[in-house]
Structure 1
Amino acid sequence: MDLTILYRGPLASCDYDCPYCPFAKRREVPAQLRGDLAALERFAGWAAAQTGDRLSLLFTPWGEGLVRSWYRRALVELSHLPHLRRVAIQTNLSCRTDWVAAADLDTLALWCTYHPGQTPYDRFLDKCRDLAAMGARFSVGVVGLPDHLEQARRLRAELPEQVYLWVNAAEGRTYDDAEAAVWTELDPLFGYSRHPHRSAGLPCRTGASVVSVDGSGTVRRCHFVREELGNLYDGSYRAALRPRPCPLAVCDCHIGYVHLESLPLYDVFAGGVLERIPGAPVQSLRATPP
């Protein structure tokens, strides 16, 4: 079986405090961090044992995972397993980057977000250059807020040309055509993020070849649909895997709508769906109008 899993354990602490971030934030006590460590090790151990399947994993923590040694260790170890097609994580890149060299760079990938005001620009850019020098797979992005525009332009100018710079529409923000055009100059695919996508009743890969898993092993079709499909560790989820339409009115998050079959994003991001890396030079791509 080929299966893509989005894993989100109990970790919710982050070293940044972005005012636009929709994620929960807290400072975890040592017992809570030990709980996250145990949950991650259990999941990584399960993934390592599934040698009869082909797995692709995206870690999407509520907080920042890579400042925790157990996330770095799990990514490196999983990247070397032959039945793992991709092992990726969303990160603010505040951690050091030297650990990446120990991973299989054909399997590991990073989805990196730059947060102006939370880290010095040069520090973030230097880490991106370190990753590029190692030959790591990574994308870089920003949230499309007016205060971020000039630094986003600077990033696009100074990042290696082959690194895709994506722009996320800010949650709840409406972009008129002129404003959208400014962001589209930086990210030709911004149109996919600009508006929520109508999804009710439309076919989606989630629940069939894509699922989400929490720290207890509860399997759902995606992070945004609460219906449970079973548990990862007792195998009960497998009987529930089948094509099914989306039950929600709209989908407005990239890690959700990228899996809609009504959108061409599996072709756009061929080979890089989880890490948000297009399969062709992004300069040749444009978003299909919603």
Structure 2
Amino acid sequence: MHLTMLYRGPLASCDYACVYCPFAKRRDSTQQLRADRAAVRRFTGWVRDNTQDEVSVLFTPWGEGLVRSWYREAMVTLSRMTHVRRVAIQTNMSCRSAWIADCDLDTAAFWVTYHPTQVTQDRFLRKCEELTRIGARFSVGIVGLPEHLDDARHLRKELPDDVYLWVNAAEGHAYTDEQAADWQDIDPLFHHSRHAHVSKGLPCRTGDTVISVLGDGTVRRCHFVPQAIGNLYDGSFRAALRPRPCPLSTCDCHIGYVHLEPTGLYDVFAGGVLERIPALR
């Protein structure tokens, strides 16, 4: 079978201080960082040994992973495994970039978020140019706050046409139709993010072919449904895999609703579901 795993270990520290993020400038202790490193390496070893499945992995750390060597190592190592179809990570890309050339660039991919209050746009664009030079597969995104609109417009103008610029609706922010149209001009798929998706009782791939994995191996159907369905390392999760409806009333995060079958987003993002790159780009 093909198994998609969204991995989130104990890492909760970030080098940025975005006001809309609860983990901004949070510092993990040395002990916490060691635990996270051990968890990532254990997970990578499980994928290495689990050749019975074709696997795709998206790292979704609460903090910034790529400033830590073990996430860079995991990206390189996993990308070179023949049974891994895709390995991607959500990142602000503040780390150095040269190591990416060691990845299998047909497998590795990057979901890169631009934070206007934390880095100059010129510096961020130079980072995107580096990714392009290396031949990395990546999307770029921004949070759709009103004060970010001019930055987003300029970013869209400066990025190559074939780099998808996505916009996440800001949490708790209601958009008028006129405001939404401004963001839609930048991201033609913004309407998928503007409103939470009604999901209760609807078929979703999570818990069947998509799972969430925590650092200790706890498996949940997705990040947003807290009930455990087993553990990765003792194999108990496998007996729980089956098609099932969503138990929540709504789903408002892309890494959740992209797997909700009625959205049709597997067709929209065919070949790029984890890295958020639409088909035919």
Q: TM-score, normalised by structure 2?
A: 0.98
SS in 1 for 2:99: helix
Correspondence for 1:228: 228
Partner of 2:264 in structure 1? 264
CA RMSD, aligned part only? 0.9
Give 2:113's aligned residue: 113
Shift of 1:26: 2.6
Give 1:255 shift: 0.2
2:174 is the counterpart of 1:174: yes
**2:19 is matched by which residue type in structure 1?**
P
SS of corresponding position for 2:86: strand
**What is the deviation of 1:121?**
1.2
**Residues in 1 aligned to 2:254 and 2:225: alpha-carbon distance in whole angstroms:** 15
1:98 offset after TM fit, Å? 0.7
Matched residue SS, 1:262 = helix
CA distance in 2, matches of 1:48, 1:154: 42
Residue number in structure 2 paired with 1:184? 184
Name the amino acid aligned to 1:174.
A
CA distance in 1, matches of 2:176, 2:22: 23
Report if the CA contact (8 A) 1:196-1:250 is conserved: yes
Higher mean C-alpha displacement, 164-173 vs 153-162: 153-162
Partner of 1:93: 93
Is the 8 Å Cα contact of residues 15 and 25 (structure 2) preserved in structure 1?
Answer: no
* Match runs of 1:135-146 below 5 Å: 135-146=135-146
Cα distance between partner residues in 1 of 2:169 and 2:37: 32
**What is the alpha-carbon distance in structure 1 between the residues aligned to residue 187 and residue 24 of structure 2?**
28
Alignment of 1:15-26 (within 5 A): 15-23=15-23, 26=26
Q: 2:46 is aligned with what amino acid?
A: W
Task: Report if aligned partners of 1:229, 1:237 keep a CA contact under 8 Å in 2.
Answer: yes
The 2-side partners of 1:60 and 1:44 are apart by: 15
1:73 aligns with 2:82: no
Match of 1:158 in 2: 158
> How big is the shift at 1:119?
1.0
Structure 2 vs 1, CA of residues 232 and 73 (structure 1 numbering), >3 Å: closer, same or farther?
A: same
Cα distance in structure 2, aligned partners of 1:226 and 1:29: 26
Asked whether the 8 Å contact 1:11–1:62 carries over to 2, the reply is yes
CA distance in 2, matches of 1:175, 1:215: 36
Moved over 4 A (4+): 22-25
Q: Per-residue displacement from partner, 1:95-154 (whole Å, max 9, x unpaired)?
A: 111110010000000000000110121111101011011111000000001111111111
Amino acid paired to 2:200 = A
Percent of aligned pairs sharing the same letter:
69
Match of 2:45 in 1: 45
What is the DSSP-based 3-state SS (H/G/I as helix, E as strand, rest coil) of the residue aligned with 1:171?
coil
Look up the SS of the partner of 1:77 in the other structure: helix
The 1:23–1:225 alpha-carbon spacing in structure 2 relative to 1, beyond 3 Å, is farther
Contact 2:14 2:24 in 1 (8 A): no
Which amino acid counterpart does residue 17 of structure 1 have in structure 2?
A
SS of equivalent to 2:76: helix
Q: Is the 8 A contact 1:132 1:160 kept in 2?
A: no
Amino acid at match of 2:42: R
> Any stretches of 5+ residues in structure 2 without a counterpart?
none
Contact 1:36 1:215 in 2 (8 A): yes
Q: Per-residue CA shift, 1:179-232, capped at 9, x if unaligned?
A: 000000000000000000000000000000000000000000000001111000
Instruction: Give the C-alpha shift of residue 29 in structure 1.
Output: 1.2
Quick check: 2:97–2:130 contact (8 Å CA) kept in 1? yes
Q: Distance between the aligned counterparts of 2:214 and 2:39, measured in 1?
A: 9
Shift of 1:22: 4.8
User: Contact 1:54–1:85 (CA<8 Å) still a contact in 2?
Assistant: yes
1:131 aligns with 2:99: no
